[in-house]
C-alpha cells in the first residue's frame, strides 16, 4: 500500500484527509514542518500533502528541506492552502517544484490528483513499464464503477464534509489575517496620536519656558 504523509498544523484537516484516503493509502501525519521533515526522512512516503501556512516552517521552507534529502528529491508533493496569494508571494506561477491544490477541495479531486501524481512518478521511475502500470488503474476504475449507489452517496457525503471542514478552516485563517491587518492599522493610528501629543507637549513646554523666563526677568527688576 502506498504511503501518503499529511503535514498540516490543523488536526481537523489531518483527520479529514486521513478519513478520505485511509481505504486506499497508508496515511501518516505530522503537525508542523519540523516534525513533517523528520517523518518524511524516516518513512520515505510515496507522496506528501503539505500545508503552506504553518508555524515554525511554512510549506515552502519545509519543501526545500525535503528536497535536500536525496531519497526524497523526486517525491511528489501537493501544496495545499486556502490563500493562494500567500503561496505566489514566495513562489511565482507556474509551480514546477510541486502541485498545488486550493482549499476547500472535494474528496474526489484530492484522490484523483494523488492517483495522477503517483502514476506519473511511477512512469518516470520506470519508463519501460508503462503497460503494466495502466492495468491496476483500469481494474481500480472498474471496481469504482461497480460499487453501487450507496458508495456514490457516501462519497458525496464525504465531499460535503470535506468542504465544510476546509471552509471553516479557511474562514478562521482569513479572519486571523484580517484581524492582524486591523490591529496593525490601529497601532499605526495610535503611534500617530502619540506623535501629535508629543509635539503638543513640546510646544507647551516651550511656551512655559518663555513664561518662566519672563517671570525671572520681572523678579530681577
| Owning domain of residue 22 | 3-171
Residue 60 belongs to a domain? yes
Residue 30 belongs to a domain? yes
Domain harbouring 82, CATH code: 3.40.50.2300
pTM over 0.85: no
Class of residue 52 by CB neighbours under 10 A (exposed 0-12, middle 13-18, buried 19+): buried
Residue 199 belongs to a domain? no
Q: What is the pLDDT along the chain (221 residues), one digit of tens a residue?
A: 999 999 999 999 999 999 999 999 999 999 999 999 999 999 999 999 999 988 878 898 999 999 999 999 999 999 998 878 888 887 877 888 899 998 888 899 999 999 999 998 888 776 554 444 444 454 444 444 555 555 555 556 555 666 666 666 666 666 666 666 677 777 777 778 887 888 888 778 777 787 777 787 777 75
Residue 95 belongs to a domain? yes
Residue 190 belongs to a domain? no
Residue 144 belongs to a domain? yes
C-alpha cell at 209: 519656558
For residue 134, the model assigns a pLDDT of 46
> In which residue are the cell numbers 479529514 written?
16
> How many structural domains does the chain have?
1
For residue 144, the model assigns a pLDDT of 44
Residue 179 belongs to a domain? no
Question: For residues 30 and 6, is the Cβ–Cβ distance under 8 A?
Answer: yes
* Integer Cα distance of 112 and 116 in angstroms: 6
Residue 166 belongs to a domain? yes
* Integer Cα distance of 21 and 16 in angstroms: 9
Of 149, 177, 12, which is closest to residue 83 (Cα–Cα)?
177
Amino acid at each position: 500500500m502506498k504511503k501518503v504523509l499529511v503535514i498540516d498544523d490543523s488536526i481537523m484537516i489531518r483527520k479529514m484527509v486521513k478519513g478520505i484516503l485511509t481505504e486506499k493509502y497508508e496515511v501518516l501525519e505530522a503537525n508542523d514542518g519540523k516534525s513533517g521533515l523528520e517523518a518524511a526522512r524516516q518513512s520515505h512516503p510515496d507522496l506528501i500533502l503539505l500545508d503552506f501556512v504553518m508555524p515554525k516552517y511554512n510549506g515552502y521552507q519545509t519543501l526545500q528541506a525535503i528536497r535536500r534529502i536525496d531519497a526524497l528529491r523526486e517525491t511528489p508533493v501537493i501544496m495545499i492552502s486556502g490563500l493562494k496569494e500567500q503561496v505566489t508571494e514566495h513562489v511565482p506561477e507556474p509551480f514546477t517544484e510541486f502541485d498545488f491544490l486550493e482549499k476547500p477541495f472535494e474528496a474526489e479531486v484530492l484522490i484523483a490528483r494523488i492517483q495522477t501524481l503517483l502514476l506519473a512518478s511511477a512512469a518516470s521511475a520506470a519508463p519501460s513499464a508503462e503497460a503494466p502500470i495502466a492495468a491496476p488503474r483500469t481494474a481500480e476504475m472498474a471496481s469504482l464503477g461497480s460499487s453501487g449507489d450507496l458508495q456514490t452517496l457516501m462519497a458525496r457525503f464525504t465531499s460535503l464534509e470535506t468542504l465544510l471542514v476546509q471552509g471553516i478552516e479557511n474562514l478562521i485563517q482569513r479572519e486571523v489575517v484580517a484581524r492582524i491587518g486591523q490591529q496593525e492599522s490601529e497601532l499605526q493610528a495610535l503611534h500617530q496620536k502619540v506623535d501629535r501629543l508629543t509635539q503638543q507637549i513640546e510646544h507647551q513646554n516651550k511656551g512655559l519656558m518663555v513664561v518662566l523666563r519672563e517671570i525671572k526677568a520681572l523678579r530681577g527688576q
